[in-house]
Structure 1
Amino acid sequence: MNFQELIKVEDQPVISADFTGAIVCINKAFTAEFGWTETELVGNSLTKIIPSALRDAHQLGFSAYLATDNATLLGQHLDLEILAQDGRILMAEHFILSGEINGQKAFAAQIKILT
């Protein structure tokens, strides 16, 4: 699956962010699975859905990627926690790719809850 295919997925939760880490869109499956609405997330930092204990590590990795363009986690299936709108912390599989939205570097993740 490539980036353009990922951002068009409708039957699995997908979230997209720009190169600054600001959320640019979520799909309806993301809202159904995690409870967040577009109004609550779009324009906010990705850290809003990252549990507080993981935020520093996320920021460090994100900054390192932007500085070096060396992607060590993209295109892999990663088991990471996500913060649902109701405050629950859920273990989920993340599949993250980079690409462009409106000519700008962007990221998208398909996120599936692990049972």
Structure 2
Amino acid sequence: MTTAIDFAQLANVIGDAIVISDAAGDITFWNPAATRMFGYTEGEAMGRTLDLIIPERLRGRHWEGYHKTMASGETRYGNDVLRVPAVDKAGRSLSIAFTVALLHSPEGALTGIVAVIRDETARFQEERGLRKRLAELEAQAQQS
């Protein structure tokens, strides 16, 4: 017996942020984990563009890729985990990892993109610290 999945319940309890944007890049879905991660309530995020969480210096590149995906109906990131900087409501930098999937209408038209996002800021900072410490130890070893 197959049990129907209640998407709303799933999206509300899952620990990862789920953000859906339409073909223009406007946010059409924002779950509670997105609120915890980025600081914006659902009401603050809905209808706004993804610029809400994209650092200003990366927006041009993001939108170039987004519009290309909407025009072609293809993304090379469907199975790959993307790791990029993001920004929260307070202006804090975050390191996020996410996957994307394209959404289509019943007729097959591309209608938007869903991103499932995880905050990896702590892991990224830990790795950066370890790389720095390794470089220091290698430099000391070469001096010996």
The normalised TM-score by structure 2 is 0.69
Q: Which fold has the larger relative contact order, with Cα–Cα distance below 8 Å and residues 6 or more apart in sequence?
A: 1
Partner of 1:113: 119
Q: How much is the aligned-residue C-alpha RMSD, in angstroms?
A: 2.4
**TM-superposed deviation, 1:101:** 6.6
CA contact (8 A) 2:23 2:113 kept: yes
Cα distance change, pair 102–23 in 1 and its aligned pair in 2 (3 A)? farther
Cα distance change, pair 101–32 in 1 and its aligned pair in 2 (3 A)? farther
Cα distance change, pair 11–38 in 1 and its aligned pair in 2 (3 A)? same
Between the aligned partners of 1:93 and 1:77, the Cα distance in structure 2 is 6
After alignment, is 99-108 or 25-34 more displaced?
A: 99-108
More strand per residue: 1 or 2?
1
**TM-superposed deviation, 1:96:** 0.9
Larger Rg: 2
After alignment, is 57-66 or 93-102 more displaced?
A: 93-102
Secondary structure of the residue that 1:30 maps to in structure 2?
A: helix
Alignment of 1:6-21 (within 5 A): 8-9=10-11, 10-21=14-25
The normalised TM-score by structure 1 is 0.84
More helix per residue: 1 or 2?
2
**TM-superposed deviation, 1:5:** 9.3
CA contact (8 A) 1:6 1:110 kept: no
After alignment, is 97-106 or 43-52 more displaced?
A: 97-106
Runs of at least 5 residues in structure 2 that lack an aligned partner in the other structure: 124-144
The alignment of Structure 1 onto Structure 2 pairs a total of residues equal to 112
